[in-house]
Amino acid sequence: MEHSAKGIVMKGKVLSVNISDKKGEKKHNVGKCMLVKDKGLANDAHAGFMHRQVSLLGKESVEKIRAKGLDVQYGDFAENLTTEGIILYELPVGTEMKVGDGVLLRISQIGKECHTRCAIFQQVGDCVMPREGIFAVVITEGEIKIGDEIEILS
């Protein structure tokens, strides 16, 4: 069940928790991970990257690329959290969300500029991360896992 920022109920869930050893590569699902205040996901190559500590991409966005015939998996867009149920890119910067048992994230950026055309773009002529991926900072740290509920607070 999808809910937009214009709707009333704003809940979703975590489908995949992804990290990578190096920047510029696909991330792999680790099932659960510690989110560290002002840093991001523990052991992730992008942790501590200014205001883009945690990247999120909705299953709804991944499905758009799958519909173009590419067999993409969660983490292939280098997103830390793959979610469902919330149209993430409709949420304004500054929105706070609670994940699981109290991890608090604040949206810091919607989309991003891609400096190089990734493998996804090369294969299908499109990539959703620059338009529909969002970034957040960790306000309250804690562990998150697949299946955790995401609640939009503001």
Instruction: Please give the pLDDT value at position 68.
Output: 83
pLDDT band at 1 (very low <50, low <70, confident <90, very high): very low
Could you tell me the fold of the domain covering 11-152? M1 Pyruvate Kinase; Domain 3 (2.40.33)
Instruction: Please give the pLDDT value at position 113.
Output: 67
Bridging pattern class, strands 40-41 and 32-36? antiparallel
Q: Which residues contact 106 (CB under 8 A, 6 or more apart)?
A: 94, 95, 96, 97, 136, 137, 139
Tokens of 24: 């510029």
* The total number of residues written for the chain in this structure: 154
Record the pTM. Answer: 0.87
Instruction: Please give the pLDDT value at position 74.
Output: 93
Domain extents in the chain: 11-152
Q: What does the alpha-carbon distance between residue 93 and residue 70 come to, in Å, rounded to a whole number?
A: 30
Per residue in 59-81, pLDDT (tens digit) is 999 998 888 888 888 998 889 99
Instruction: Please give the pLDDT value at position 3.
Output: 47
